[in-house]
Structure 1
Amino acid sequence: MIDNIELFKIASLMSNNSFRSCNCINRSNGFDMLLINLLEAIASKNQVYNIQNVNINGNISKSGESCNLAKELDTVNSIHNSHKLKISSKNEDINTKIENAISVASKKYGVDEKLIKSIIKVESDFNPKTESSAGAKGLMQLMPENCRDLGITDPFDIEQNIDGGTRHIKEYLDRYHGNVEMALMAYNGGPTRMMRRGVRSLEDIYLMPKETQKYVPKVMKYYKG
């Protein structure tokens, strides 16, 4: 591509030739026209250069900056995939059972599959045999009283646990008018504790235990990721 210095060199040569060959008295007018043409050429060149540097957001980049579209797309994809949920059990049969149970429960109760997966990821990391020190059991970490209320006879059974856990979060989603964060707060910290501590919105989460304060954004990270 011809740069500005080269354009000035061309202009200089053209002006010298013009003065040598022209016998008219109006040489200054000819030189003025040459300068105008030169400036127009420079402006046109810069416009093309800037258009070539349009970035992926549709903004004209500053002179000298380059737009590496492939690199930016790789960055976007890596951020998107960093929170992508995969059922991580080493046993493929268990993975299939979990996937099927999530799909069935999602359709049965009208709860987003990704939300169910996100809860399971944080609660048990897809280990159906997990049991906490507090007594919460299985994939969705159901407490004994939850199992009793939900009619679950074996909390370590994949289908029973996911069905019960999905029904449980659905109750909270209905209670809090579809507010996912509030439903998660109740799922982890309990609705009674929320009422007792005066929690009326997500902004009041600081009133809940530290575990719940960490739990809600952690699940949401996977859910929105």
Structure 2
Amino acid sequence: MDIAEINLQSRYVFRERISLMVLLCASSGRGFQVIPTSGMTLRSRSEHHLSNGDKYKDNVNALLLVATLVATVAFAAGFTVPGGFSSSPPNLGMAILANELDFCYFLLCNTLAMQCSVVAIVALIWAQLGDPELIHRAFHLALPSLFVALISMSAAFLFGVVATRRSHNNFLFNVVFNTVTAIFFHVMVLLLGPYVIPQLPGVPFL
């Protein structure tokens, strides 16, 4: 760990990030630790005197852009709900699919995506101050929040599609839809999970 800190770099290839994660897990002992493999947790002793946190500026801006886009999409989806709104009394202005279970799931996932993306945005705004300690704490909060926001936004889209489908007994549609959904979420977890999920020393998968 001392050698890794002395030779700290601004950029790492993926295998080097994995090596850093192993070092962090081994040095922290057993227990629940938030150690993302993004390479943003290993800090040299001289980091506070170098570049004032500028080395993370591009990462912060990229994540801030993604979080803002998710919040924008979730906000727009909240006011343009699937199925539209009723234009006649007694349910004037109410969502047509308000009584559908899938529509309730859509609202839940969309709300979660909106709120988690806002949390990520606020955390990354703090990271803009340039304080290395704030940057690392912001990443620990923003990365998992953004992960949940992306997953929730995707789930909201899927539930919105299901809520508006006309054929409720189309076996082929259900099979294809469920298969594609299962594959998609597995790929999402495999791609985003290692970047944000907490590491649990002693547990091989985590």
Range into which the TM-score falls when normalised by the shorter chain: under 0.3
Please report the TM-score for the alignment, with normalisation by the length of structure 1: 0.22
Q: Tell me which structure has the larger Cα radius of gyration.
A: 1
> Could you say which structure has the greater relative contact order, defined with CA pairs below 8 angstroms and 6 or more residues apart?
2
Q: Give TM-score, length-normalised by structure 2.
A: 0.23
